[in-house]
Chains A and B, each alone.
Chain A
Amino acid sequence: MKLLSKILNNIPNINRFERIWKIAQIDFKKRYYNDRLGLIWALLNPIMSVSVYYIVFTMIMNRVSEGIDNYALFIFSGLIFWIAFVEMLKKGMKTLISKSYLIENIKLNKIDLYLSICLSISMALIFNISAYLIMAKLFGVNYSYLLLYLPILILNIFLIGCGTSMILSVVLIHFRDINHIVDIAIKLGFWTSGIFFKAELILDKLPFVYYINPFVGIIENARNIALYNTCPNLVTMNLNVLIGIFIFIIGAIYVERFGHLACEKL
């Protein structure tokens, strides 16, 4: 009987979805509405980065951009996915601290908080993708029904981002130093995910990156869909979703088991 009620309690009910959605909404609002320009920053930020990289890689280090049409769009399409992931990681990692006002006073499922935060960042990602699609149209890029694959990529980023942030936020409780390591790892990922160059460039020399870093595949697929209008590589897509699910489950287990330590140590 007890087991049955436990199972029933864990079935996500409407109340739970409502809650996750609400916290995500609030998070989104908090991030953008306090600034003058509001949501435009979500877009302005990648656009400014793109222009910096564009100038550097077409004028100074122009060997990198050789042979790539629409180089600005090329960077943009990769960068928005990467930025979304990094934001999930950085914000998610601090969930147990930033939401401690809730954790300490009401009994709640901590995983909901991570889901909300990553959901709010996914909303910004969707916003950026639509901005990209409008710009791509202006540049004369064609896309088709293949866009229907995009939600899978977003889900994939969500799973990986949410999972890693859950794992890292627990690790953060024990080792504050993890912050520095994460910074380096983000840099490493940034330069090996093929945001500025065709993935083949790095895969020729370090083929194992393809299997270690799921972003190579995700960004490649994003470009296949939204820039080249070709069918994405379904093998890597499935593989990456599986990796995402795996990381997510590990993270969820981690938070369930060790999340309570946060209130003791922070």
Chain B
Amino acid sequence: MENNLAIKITNVSKTYKLRSTKVKTIRERVTNLVAGKYIENDKIVALKNINLYINQGESFGIIGKNGSGKSTLINIIMETIKPDIGGNIDVYGKVMRLALGLGIDANLSARDNIYVNGSIIGLSFRKIGTIFDQIIEFAGIPDFVDTPVKFYSKGMKQRLMFSIAMHANADIFLLDEFFGGTGDQEFRIKSDIAFKKRILNGKTNVIVSHSLQTIRKHCERALWIHKGKILLIDDVDTVIKAYMKFIKSNK
């Protein structure tokens, strides 16, 4: 059992401290400092006591309303954000987050972006060299390899990002409202096939989406999160049914 886990989250909570909005002027700040008055920060509880495991090779969906803590959860798995004391996260494998347009520096060329991204994910330069042409060809930008990405069209940028992700060979993908099928018709078909072959099959996926259809289509299990608390973890259909019911009753 232990060996098959990709992500294990136990007892994770996250509280954001906000800078207090009560103190506005510099003078107030200084006088407070001199008087030794401690200003309590505003707090926001983003996640409450999350327990979760995700198996290797599983596609796992996360649904919930805006502001329910989905992104925070993704950030916690990425370890860009640390949970409150007492929480524990184990992630087995290399993680890459896929969200359109992120991970790319617009001032760099496609070549540099590919090398930086690939290297951080753990590929050696030799390995990147061997797949470099494939990446460029897949993205369909062979004439613009050394052009800074900021001069690319939006579609080209997306194709590049997509292509890097396809070839980067991470173990766990966090898909944050990111899905195959970007760009023109030709690329859409190509990318859909690659997406299914390389990411959805055999890799661990955590899919965050507002589109219940995509979640239903691709995931086996899903999680419904509401106001930082897990309301339900079960197979997809059950979770989506419960969620739909909740939305309708709220109306």
Mark A residues whose CB is within 8 Å of B: 14-15, 18-19, 22-23, 26, 29-30, 34, 101-108, 260, 263-264
Residues of B within 8 A of A (CB): 16, 75, 78-82, 94-97, 99, 102-105, 107-108, 112, 115-117, 119-125
Chain A contacts for B94, CB-based, 8 A: 107
**Beyond A15-B123, A18-B124, 8 extra complex contacts between A and B, CB < 8 Å:** A18-B125, A101-B103, A101-B104, A102-B105, A106-B103, A260-B79, A263-B75, A264-B16
Q: A14-B124, A106-B96, A106-B120 are in contact. Are A26 and B16 (CB under 8 A)?
A: no
Is B122's CB under 8 angstroms from A15's CB?
Answer: yes
Say yes or no: A260-B82 contact (C-beta < 8 A), given A26-B108, A105-B102, A106-B96. yes
A22 touches B119 (CB 8 A): yes
* Closest chain B residue to A14, Cβ basis: B124
Number of A-B contacts (CB under 8 A): 67
Residues of A contacting B120 in the complex (Cβ-Cβ under 8 angstroms)? 19, 102, 106-108
CA–CA, A18 and B81, complex, Å: 27
Cross-chain contact B116 with A26 (CB below 8 angstroms)? yes
Check if A106 sits within 8 Å of B16, measured CB to CB.
Answer: no
Query: Residues of A contacting B121 with CB < 8 Å?
Result: 106
Knowing A18-B125, A26-B108, A101-B102, the reply to whether A106 touches B117 (Cβ < 8 A) is: yes
- Chain A residues with CB under 8 Å of B125's CB are 18, 22
A105-B103 CB under 8 A given contacts A22-B115, A264-B16: yes
Residue of A nearest to B176 (CB): A105
Tell me, in angstroms, the Cα distance from A191 to B17 when the chains sit together: 40
List residues of chain B with CB within 8 A of the CB of A14: 124
With A26-B108, A263-B75, A264-B81: A104-B102 Cβ-Cβ less than 8 Å: yes
Kindly list the 3 A-B residue pairs having the minimum CB-CB distance in the complex, ordered from nearest.
A105-B103, A19-B119, A263-B80
Q: Assess whether B108 is in contact with A105, with CB atoms less than 8 Å apart.
A: no
Closest chain A residue to B122 by CB distance?
A15
21 contacts between A and B (CB under 8 A): A14-B124, A15-B119, A18-B124, A22-B112, A26-B108, A30-B107, A34-B107, A101-B102, A102-B103, A104-B78, A105-B78, A105-B99, A105-B102, A106-B103, A106-B117, A106-B120, A107-B78, A107-B94, A107-B95, A108-B120, A260-B82
- Which of chain B's residues have a CB closer than 8 A to the CB of A106? 95-97, 103, 117, 120-121
Neighbouring A residues of B115 by C-beta, 8 Å: 22
- Looking across the interface, which residue of chain B has its beta carbon closest to that of A174? B19
Q: Which residue of the partner chain A has the closest CB to B124? A: A15
**What residues of A have a CB within 8 angstroms of the CB of B75 in the complex?**
104, 263
Q: CA A184 – CA B165 in complex, angstroms?
A: 45
Taking CB atoms, residues of chain A closer than 8 Å to B119 are: 15, 18-19, 22
